[in-house]
Amino acid sequence: MIQELIIDGLLVVVIIACLILFKIASDNMTKKQKKNLKRIFIATVILLLVQTLGVKVFAYFGDNRWLRLSVYLLIYYIIGSDIVYKAYKGIKNGQVFDENFLMVVASLGALLLAIIQNGDYMEAIAVMLFYQVGEWFQSYAVGRSRKNITELMDIRPDYANIEVDGKITKVDPDEVKIGDTIIVKPGEKVPLDGIVIEGHSALDTAALTGESLPRDVKVDDEIISGCINMTGLLKIKTTKLFGESTVSKILDLVENASSRKSKSEDFIAKFARFYTPIVCYAALALAIIPPVFLYFSGNDPEVYTWIYRALSFLVASCPCALVISIPLSFFAGIGGASKEGILIKGSNFLETLSKTDTVVFDKTGTLTKGVFEVVAIHHNKKAKEELLYYAASAESASSHPISKSILKAYGKDIDTSKVKDIEEISGEGVKALVDGKVVLAGNDKLMKRFGIEYKDCHSIGTIVHIAIDEIYEGHIVIADIEKPNAKKAIEALKEAHVQKTVMLTGDKEKVANLVASDLKIDEYYSELLPQDKVSKVEALLDEEKGGKLAFVGDGINDAPVLSRADIGIAMGAMGSDAAIEAADIVLMDDDPLKIAKAIKISKKCLRIVYQNIVFSIFIKIMTLILVALGFANMWLAVFADVGVMILAVLNAIRCLFVSKL
C-alpha cells in the first residue's frame, strides 16, 4: 500500500515537472527533446489514471486480463518504442551489448513475467519510464551547458564590410584579400587581422583572451580578428587572409580539441566494452544456476524469483553514468578553460597537466615582457630629459631594440634635421652631431675608444653611456622588465601544489639571478643557447619521479622545447604558428597567472572525473550485490541507475564553472 502511494506520488511529480518544463523551458529544447518530453508526459498521465482508477474500470469489464495487458502494452509502446528500435538496430549492426539492449531485455523480461503470472506490469513500465526520464534530463542538461560554452566561443565572423571605391559591400570573410580595406562598425566582430588606418575605438577581447577590460586601439595599431568593436567606426587594412587570421586559428584549435583521448576516457571505453557483456552473462548465470542448484538439492527451484532477480540485475548494471559523465567532464573542462582564454588541445593534456609538479619557464616573454625598457637614468649635470633627448636623437636612425626603447622612453618626435653625421659603430654604439654637439651613446667600449672616463653602473641591465662634447654626462639603464603578474603567478603555482619552478634563459647570469630571486623561483639556468634549453629540459625530465613537467614559452625559438616537455604551454602566441603547432596548451593572452589557473582547472576536472568513477562504480556494485541477494527489487535498481546518472552528469557539468579558480 505504501509502495503504491509512493509510486503514485512519483508519477504526479513527473507530470508536474513536465508541465513546468513545457512552460518555462520549451524554447531551449531541441525538437527531439520536446518530442520525448511529450511522450514521457502522456505515458505518465495514462499510467497514473490506470493506477488510480484502473482497478474499478477493469472490474467493470469483468477483470479481463488481456484488456489490462493491452492497456499496459500501449503505455509501454508510447514510452519505450524508440529504445526497443535502437536495441534492435544495435543487434542488427553487431553492436549488441549497449544500454538500450540492457533496458529492453530487462523491461520485456519483467513484462513477460507479469503476463505469465498475471501480475503487476507497473515495474516493467517504470523501468522504461524512469530510464527515459534520466536520458531526457541528461540530454537537456548537457545541451544547456554546451550552449553556454558555444555562445561564448562564438567568434566566427559571418561577413566583412569591404570598401571598394568608396562603396561598402558585405562579403564573405574568405573573399577578402591582403591589403583590402574593411570597415568594422560598432557592435561588429573584427573579421580579419589588420592594421587600423582610420578611427579609434575600444575592443572587447573577452571571447579571445578571457580579459574583460576593453582594449583601446587607434590608427596604426595592429588589430586581431575575433574581437568585438565596441565604440567607434574603424577602417582596417587587412594583413592576413581569413584562413590565416587569428580567429580562424583559434576556431581551428577549439574545434580540433579533444581528438586525443585521456587515459580515463580510454579506461571507461574499454571498461564499457567488457563490462556490459560480462554483466549480461552474469545475469544469465543468476537466472539459471541458483534454480538448477536448488532443484538438484531437492528444494523448490523458484524459477520466477531468480529470473526476476536477474532482470533487476540487468537494470542495475547499466553503465550510463560512467559512459556519459566521464567524456562530458573533459568536454566541460576544456570548454570552461577556453572561456578563460586557455586552449587545451585534448583531454589527455588536461589529464597530464593535473599531474604537473614542475614548471619550467623560458624567461623572456613569459615572466618578463620581452621588450626592453628604460628603467633608470643616472645623470650628471644635465637634466634627465635633456640627457634622454640627446640620446634619443643620436639613436634616432637605428633600428636596434636598445635604440627603440630609448626613443620610446623619450616619447616625442625627433626633429631629424637637427641630427647629422650619424655613425654607427657596430657592437659599441653611435656617434652623431646633435644641435651641433658631438654626442656619443654606447657601451663602455665606445667610451674607451674615445678616451672618455665613465662610471660603472651597479644596476643590472644594458648600460648606455652618454658623452656630449667629450664630457661624460651619465648613463641610461635599459632592461627587460618583469610582467606585473609574474610574482603572483609563481605564488599561485605554489598554491596549486607545483613543487618546483625553474627558469631558463639565454640572458646573463647577473640578470637571471636578479629575476629569479625577485620572483622566488627555485632554480635558474642562465646563458643558455636554444639547443641547451632542450637538453636542460631533458635533464629535468629525467629527474621527474611520477610527476609531470610543463614548459612555458612565448613560442619564439622554443618550439623544440615545447614539444619535448610533458606539457608545452605557449603564451600570448596568437602570432606564432610554430608555437601553436608545437604547444599542447595555448594561452591566448600573455598573463603568466593563467598558467596556475590552467593547472587548477585541470585538477578540478580530474577530481570530478575520479569522484564520478569511484561513486558510480561503488553504487553499481552495491546495488548489484543487493539485487543478486534479493534485498532490492527492480524499483530500487531503476532508481539507483537513473539517480547515479543524474548525479554524475550534474557533477560533470561543474567542470564548466572555472572562472573563480
Partner 1 sequence: MKKTYEIEVDCANCASKMETAAKKTAGVKDAVVNFMTQKMIVEFEDGQDKDEVMERVLEACKKVESDCEIYL
Q: Which residues are tagged catalytic? A: 362
Stretch that binds partner 1, among 250-258, 492-500, 595-603, 604-612 (CB under 8 A): 250-258
Least distance (Å) from partner 1 to the CB of residue 264? 13
Smallest CA-to-CA distance from 635 within 130, 132, 282, 285 is with 130
Least distance (Å) from partner 1 to the CB of residue 98? 9
Where are the extended beta strands (E) located within 248-393? 342-344, 356-362, 368-379
Amino acid at 429: G
- Tell whether residue 157 is a contact of partner 1 (CB under 8 A): no
Smallest CA-to-CA distance from 132 within 337, 318, 257, 7 is with 318
- Of residues 43 and 326, the one with the C-beta less far from partner 1: 326
Q: In the range 69-88, which residues lie near partner 1 by CB under 8 A?
A: 85-86
The answer to whether the CB of 460 falls within 8 A of the CB of 375 is no
- Burial class for 508, CB neighbours closer than 10 Å (0-12, 13-18, 19+): middle
What's phi and psi for 382, nearest 5 deg? Answer: -70, 155
Site string for partner 1, 207-246 (x = CB under 8 A): ----------------------------------------
- Tell whether residue 144 is a contact of partner 1 (CB under 8 A): no
Least distance (Å) from partner 1 to the CB of residue 256? 6
Cell numbers of 201, please? 575605438
Least distance (Å) from partner 1 to the CB of residue 560? 25
Least distance (Å) from partner 1 to the CB of residue 639? 21
Tell me how many residues contact partner 1 (CB under 8 A). 32
Least distance (Å) from partner 1 to the CB of residue 598? 17
- Tell whether residue 254 is a contact of partner 1 (CB under 8 A): yes
If you ran DSSP here, which 8-state letter would residue 177 be given?
Answer: P
- Tell whether residue 435 is a contact of partner 1 (CB under 8 A): no
- Of residues 139 and 239, the one with the C-beta less far from partner 1: 139
Q: In the range 387-426, which residues lie near partner 1 by CB under 8 A?
A: none
Strand partners, 90: none
d(CA 330, CA 269): 14
d(CA 135, CA 133): 6
From residue 405, give the alpha-carbon distance in Å to each of 25, 62, 88, 283, 401: 58, 99, 73, 76, 6
Q: In the range 24-43, which residues lie near partner 1 by CB under 8 A?
A: 30, 32
Stretch that binds partner 1, among 227-235, 257-265, 532-540, 598-606 (CB under 8 A): 257-265
Stretch that binds partner 1, among 49-57, 235-243, 248-256, 465-473 (CB under 8 A): 248-256
Cell numbers of 406, please? 630609448
- Of residues 325 and 358, the one with the C-beta less far from partner 1: 325
- Tell whether residue 257 is a contact of partner 1 (CB under 8 A): yes
With CB under 8 A as the contact rule, the residue among 188, 193, 204, 265 that binds partner 1 is 265
- Of residues 86 and 488, the one with the C-beta less far from partner 1: 86
d(CA 159, CA 149): 22
Sheet order of strands, 462-468 included: 368-379, 471-482, 462-468, 437-442, 429-434, 419-425
- Of residues 318 and 402, the one with the C-beta less far from partner 1: 318
Smallest CA-to-CA distance from 341 within 593, 126, 78, 26 is with 593
Q: What is the CA radius of gyration of the chain?
A: 35
Amino acid at 2: I
d(CA 162, CA 17): 51
Q: In the range 313-372, which residues lie near partner 1 by CB under 8 A?
A: 323-324, 327-328, 331-332, 334-335
The answer to whether the CB of 137 falls within 8 A of the CB of 14 is no
Stretch that binds partner 1, among 138-146, 465-473, 481-489, 525-533 (CB under 8 A): 138-146
- Tell whether residue 580 is a contact of partner 1 (CB under 8 A): no
Residues that bind partner 1 (CB under 8 A): 30, 32, 85-86, 89, 93, 95, 138-139, 142-143, 146, 149-150, 153, 254-259, 261, 265, 269, 323-324, 327-328, 331-332, 334-335
